[in-house]
Structure 1
């Protein structure tokens, strides 16, 4: 079994454990995100399905599938870009804390990292000191990946 199949199988078992199902269409969308090294929009996933499977699901169906995958903690939505990325920890069975995303502003490559609870607690405290409340601890940082940094265009 290759790595992609192993991840899909683990995701399928995780869904079953929650009383839900990873249908063939959901597997296709998840596969597209797993094979990409950058975040993808619903419309990019429609194009992926057309190229890979010869069928174009309606964008609204893709959005519903993405909502399902997000609720199962298999994908993350990048709010600033309105795009999605597969969770880097699908096959893990333990908590990894709050995911943070480093997004290359040039090539759009995304890397998921985890920030420690103490850092998030400090951030939350600073937000509250400023008179706000943290709606989500997810951070999306505009960066340059090493390849883009080392090869300026």
Structure 2
């Protein structure tokens, strides 16, 4: 299956998921989600403004893109990487079952992002450790700085 066909299938699945929840995946929301699905790296709202202008001829204000990203997050279609203030498409758009807790591996060189899942028990252990030192875990999402295999083989 080609990359474009795969993305169209994911957009259709996202649209169906929204409809089941009584929400609407508008054309512009689909364009923003498509931008994230086309990218191997996390994108900012401003990157998505550029994507929509270049790929779809749409001049969408950044504030509107932020609102669309909030909607897509609420529908579990995208994740926000808080440390970078960027977004990635959820790796599990096609799944209709509950997953473990998503974590993000971010290559420090090429900025490629991969979503992995860790067991909820591991997050509970982390939460206990955080509380033992007088903090409260606000989000169980981890953003881990790594090097991908492609970059490991490249000279610095």
What is the TM-score with the length of structure 2 in the denominator?
A: 0.95
Matched, 1:63 2:66: yes
Q: 2:102 aligns with which of 93, 99, 102?
A: 99
- Report the 3-state secondary structure (helix = DSSP H, G, I; strand = E; otherwise coil) of the residue aligned with 2:67: helix
Matched, 1:9 2:12: yes
- Report the 3-state secondary structure (helix = DSSP H, G, I; strand = E; otherwise coil) of the residue aligned with 2:22: coil
1:117 is matched with 120
1:19 is matched with 22
1:74 is matched with 77
Shift, 1:55, TM fit: 2.1
Q: CA RMSD in A?
A: 1.0
In structure 2, how many angstroms separate the alpha carbons of the residues matched to 1:118 and 1:75? 24
Poorly superposed stretches of 4+, deviation over 4 Å:
none
- Report the 3-state secondary structure (helix = DSSP H, G, I; strand = E; otherwise coil) of the residue aligned with 1:30: helix
In structure 1, how many angstroms separate the alpha carbons of the residues matched to 2:110 and 2:155? 11
1:150 is matched with 153
What is the TM-score with the length of structure 1 in the denominator?
A: 0.97
Shift, 1:149, TM fit: 1.0
Shift, 1:152, TM fit: 2.3
Q: 2:37 aligns with which of 34, 37, 41?
A: 34
- Report the 3-state secondary structure (helix = DSSP H, G, I; strand = E; otherwise coil) of the residue aligned with 1:103: strand
Aligned length in residues: 153
What 5-or-longer segments of structure 2 have no aligned partner?
none
Cα deviation digits, residues 99-120 of structure 1 (max 9, x gap): 0000011111000000111211
Cα deviation digits, residues 62-102 of structure 1 (max 9, x gap): 00000000000000000000000000001001111110000
